[in-house]
Amino acid sequence: MAPRIAATAAEAVANIHDGATVMIGGFGNAGQPMELIDALLDCGASNLTVVNNNAGQADAGLALLIKERRVSKVICSFPRQSDSWHFDEAYRAGELELELVPQGNLAERIRAAGAGIGGFFTPTGYGTMLAEGKETRMIDGRGYVLETPIHAEFALIKALRADTLGNLVYRKTARNFGPIMATAAKQSIVQVDEIVAPGSLDPENVITPGIFIDTLVTIGDTNS
Amino acid sequence: MAPRIAATAAEAVANIHDGATVMIGGFGNAGQPMELIDALLDCGASNLTVVNNNAGQADAGLALLIKERRVSKVICSFPRQSDSWHFDEAYRAGELELELVPQGNLAERIRAAGAGIGGFFTPTGYGTMLAEGKETRMIDGRGYVLETPIHAEFALIKALRADTLGNLVYRKTARNFGPIMATAAKQSIVQVDEIVAPGSLDPENVITPGIFIDTLVTIGDTNS
Amino acid sequence: MSTFTTTDAALTRDEMAKIVAVDIPAGAFVNLGIGQPTNVSNFLTSEQGVTLHTENGMLGMGPVATGDEIDGDLINAGKIPVTELPGASYFHQADSFAMMRGGHLDVCVLGAFQVSGGGDLANWHTGAPGAIPAVGGAMDLAIGAKSTWVMMGLFTKAGESKLVETLSYPVTGLGCVSRIYTESAIFDLADNKVTVRSTHGISFDELVARLPVDLHKA
Amino acid sequence: MSTFTTTDAALTRDEMAKIVAVDIPAGAFVNLGIGQPTNVSNFLTSEQGVTLHTENGMLGMGPVATGDEIDGDLINAGKIPVTELPGASYFHQADSFAMMRGGHLDVCVLGAFQVSGGGDLANWHTGAPGAIPAVGGAMDLAIGAKSTWVMMGLFTKAGESKLVETLSYPVTGLGCVSRIYTESAIFDLADNKVTVRSTHGISFDELVARLPVDLHKA
């Protein structure tokens, strides 16, 4: 199904409900779908599980969702930063569950969900605290940990450009988690700088095929 | 290390030795590195294990390697075709071992090798002859089979264009196995229509980063 | 209210393909396998906005290429030259099969040797002694799509039903088929129950007499 | 023939970075983590043809961006704006970490809290009560590259050796470190044997006296 084209970010995220698992793209500010996150803040959904590389910075975006106690669990690799004060406070208060995952395992678990893989053995994290309680196995003399897919109901993604069929291209290191989160969520919601006609994107250069995309919204050119 | 640029296909494959495991890209003729395969035939290496989607067609390429009994084992998904007579004969004569793998598991096992994954649970093949003897597991009520990575010493790949750093772009459905085989082999040998200077390929559109490529050879424009 | 229908004549291959095409939801992402099911594409309308996937690495596949359109680098899973439509995309084999295995395709239409009442599919191997096996993407297609439909003749040349209680041919996928289109009848499979949606050139009672599975009328 | 060398003064941070840079083989693909090791890039020569990887999704990373070059969409793993060199490429997170985990990078240079004589690395978590843990790509970097090198101060502020018999900090990766660069000495680690390649501002004998692991002179 060709994606719905929402008129506003608010309309794009309107289906996100209490208790949903929401993947949010971005590494630092690059690729962070800030307008969609702001709309999620406005829409009022709570008790969210958020999958993101980080856990919010300063007083914006995901950090505000956490400040408002709308997030009950964060699955991420790097929550603690110099300006992650809202995460730090909620976590220390015991009001926010944290599942800490090495970044590559986070990425591979998201990919596995999108790719229909039931689990995989990874050497990353073997012998560490983060493998405690997980199944391990020696394969050809090396230790591996069994990791499981991370599925989500929604993904919020920022791309550079989409065609009306949902095919996406990204920009530089802002690509990061977008392509894999788009495959792992039941509904992928994407903010782009512009939406173009089918045939405007070279089929060789499409990074995310439109099959993975459910909703598009144009946010104007946020890169310049 | 920037790839070696070989003057001829013969020079490109000269390191391939008896007993080597060689991945060969292509699906049908699309993406098949025909000149590299011919050079492999000429170089005389024998007792090869070949990983390919098929097992040769008619009287060319991989089929001739099999005819000459240079291949002791084929790992593939679809050996039997109307014109796979050399495979058929060698197989029926018991002179060629066959490991038959569903196409998606073949692709994912090749990717796993390149990605450092020790094994993965896939639903494909569960409950079938091709899962016999393999570890299985029920995950969330669904049956999965544990599949293992397929590594190789060499990969023979056809791409459209390379820069001198080995960055590759492909053409249409000829992309098929090239990008994953490049990651799974210790030495990836690529035939291209042309080699261009660094900076000539848009970094957004590179499909195979040069880190995976060891040898390049120009074979002229084989597409027109 | 019964939705059961019947026609006097058995369906031709084109009629079967047309019915499958009509049943495909608007906007669906579809894989038509190889062989007979690919004929369905000839009956899809542009209003349906269906996107075709070919597992060798493409979404947005167009019709079979002819004349100057033929390009050896642009083929379908049956290795037949095809065309690309505006909005197409190319991807490698691992991404293509991840798309299938991950449940992103809406419908996959396949041929079959046999289907069991429980939806088990056999379509990759006759199991005959000396037969050289070849599987390709059959097992991935069988279990990957949200819905797997089969198009096949209902009876063997010897007149035996190919809708069976238990497969005698080697399994391709377990419990994966949800609909079977044949020249004589169309079946919906769900929860180990086989519902006959329509019969063609055969009555429901004759069908009950000839098939080894319990049948329900729609 | 001994290859052991010594200097009177401890190495400065820049001197350490320069030695690391010289040790990186020509044409290598390298990840310099975040913090102190990124300084190594300032001492790589263009003749070396080293390609830098940043795990947020890029090969061919150039120097830190300044002025008009600064682009919020082009940052390194430390979230610092950088530039791209001709021949660069971008890829997503799963591909980037597949590249690391699959052993395609030649060298990764990391900071550390502790390294054991067997090459175990601790650099992600102090283990202090109440500390909020954050791991990022540390565990992937530790075990992914063909060679993992550490740059660190050899002693804590309290004067304790950070080259230890057994880690007291939480593990990042087991048996992964093959070389340690410190202000006081450079160590090669292999097969549970620690070889001192050079000393700086300290004698080999003093080093033996202060470190809790068996040391061999190169």
Domain ranges of chain B: 4-218
Quick one: which H or E segment has residue C190? Answer: strand C185-190
Question: Looking at chain C from residue 52 to 71, which residues have their Cβ under 8 Å from any Cβ of chain B?
Answer: 54-58, 71
Across the B:D interface, residue pairs with CB atoms under 8 Å apart total: 65
Which residue of chain B comes nearest to C103, CA vs CA? B123
Amino acid residing at D151: M
Contact between chains at B211 and D101 (C-beta distance less than 8 A): no
Q: What is the pLDDT of residue A81?
A: 87
**How far is B180 from chain C, CA to nearest CA, in Å?**
7
Which tops the pLDDT comparison, C33 or C92? C92
Across the A:D interface, residue pairs with CB atoms under 8 Å apart total: 148
Q: For residue A167, which phi and psi values (nearest 5 degrees)?
A: -65, 135
Q: What is the pLDDT of residues A13-69, one digit of tens each?
A: 999 999 999 999 999 899 999 999 999 999 999 999 999 999 999 999 999 999 999
SS3 readout for chain A: CCCEEECCHHHHCCCCCCCCEEEECCECCECCCHHHHHHHHHHCCCCEEEECCECCCCCCCHHHHHHCCCEEEEEECECCCCCCHHHHHHHHCCCCEEEECCHHHHHHHHHHHHHCCCEEEECCCCCCHHHCCCCEEEECCEEEEEECCCCEEEEEEECCEEECCCCEECCHHHHCCHHHHHHHEEEEEEEECEEECCCCCCCCCCCECHHHCCEEEECCCCCC
Average pLDDT over chain A reads: 96
Mean pLDDT for C6-35 is 96
**How far is C60 from chain A, CA to nearest CA, in Å?**
9
Contact between chains at B79 and C58 (C-beta distance less than 8 A): no
Which residue of chain B comes nearest to C61, CA vs CA? B173
Contact residues on chain D for A104, CB-CB shorter than 8 A: 55, 93, 97-98, 100-101, 137, 139-140, 144
CATH of the domain at C84: 3.40.1080.10
| Distance (Å, whole) CA B81 – CA D75 | 50
Q: What is the pLDDT of residue C128?
A: 87
**How far is A80 from chain C, CA to nearest CA, in Å?**
33
Q: ipTM of this complex > 0.85?
A: yes
Contact residues on chain C for B126, CB-CB shorter than 8 A: 143, 173-174
Can chain C be said to touch chain A, i.e. do they have 3 or more Cβ pairs within 8 angstroms? yes
Domain count, chain C: 1
Closest CB to C170: pick one of B102, B129, B223. Answer: B129
Question: Is the model's pLDDT at A220 over the cut of 80?
Answer: no
Can chain D be said to touch chain C, i.e. do they have 3 or more Cβ pairs within 8 angstroms? no
Mean pLDDT for C133-151 is 96
Which residue of chain A comes nearest to C27, CA vs CA? A1
Q: Where in the sequence numbering do the catalytic residues of D fall?
A: 55
Average pLDDT over chain B reads: 96
B4-218: what CATH class? Answer: alpha beta
Which residue of chain C comes nearest to A206, CA vs CA? C89
Q: What is the pLDDT of residues D66-83, one digit of tens each?
A: 999 999 999 999 999 999
Helices B103-115 and D93-101 sit at what angle, rounded to 10 degrees?
70
User: B161-163 and B142-147 as β-strands: parallel, antiparallel, unpaired?
Assistant: unpaired
Confidence of residue D1 (pLDDT cuts 50, 70, 90): low
Concatenated DSSP letters for C148-173? Answer: EEEE--SB-TTS-BSEESS-SSPPSB
pTM to 2 decimal places: 0.97
Question: Is the model's pLDDT at B224 over the cut of 70?
Answer: no
Contact between chains at B212 and D88 (C-beta distance less than 8 A): no
Interface mutation target, options B172, B191, B193, B206, chain C, most CBs of C under 10 Å: B172
Task: Name residues whose C-beta falls within 8 Å of residue D44's C-beta, 6 or more positions apart in sequence.
Answer: D21, D24, D50
Question: Is the model's pLDDT at C36 over the cut of 80?
Answer: yes
Confidence of residue C154 (pLDDT cuts 50, 70, 90): very high
Ramachandran area for residue C57 (φ above 0: left; ψ -120 to 50: alpha; else beta): left
Q: What is the pLDDT of residues A118-172, one digit of tens each?
A: 999 999 999 999 999 999 999 999 999 999 999 999 999 999 999 999 999 999 9
Contact between chains at D104 and B212 (C-beta distance less than 8 A): yes
Q: For residue A86, which phi and psi values (nearest 5 degrees)?
A: -70, -40
Contact between chains at A77 and D174 (C-beta distance less than 8 A): no
Does C144 contact A at CB distance below 8 Å? yes
Helices B103-115 and C93-101 sit at what angle, rounded to 10 degrees?
120
Q: What is the pLDDT of residue C130?
A: 82
Number of H helices, E strands in chain B: 6, 14
Q: What is the pLDDT of residue B223?
A: 45
User: Taking every pair of C-alpha atoms in chain D, what is the biggest distance, in angstroms?
Assistant: 53
Look up residue D161 and give its DSSP letter.
Answer: B
Domain that residue D9 falls in? 5-217
Q: What is the pLDDT of residues D108-151, one digit of tens each?
A: 999 999 999 999 999 999 888 888 899 999 999 999 999 999 99
Mean pLDDT for B63-82 is 96
Question: Is the model's pLDDT at B203 over the cut of 80?
Answer: yes
Question: Is the model's pLDDT at B14 over the cut of 90?
Answer: yes
Question: Is the model's pLDDT at A221 over the cut of 70?
Answer: no
Q: What is the pLDDT of residue D130?
A: 82
| Cβ neighbours of C73 (radius 10 Å) | 20
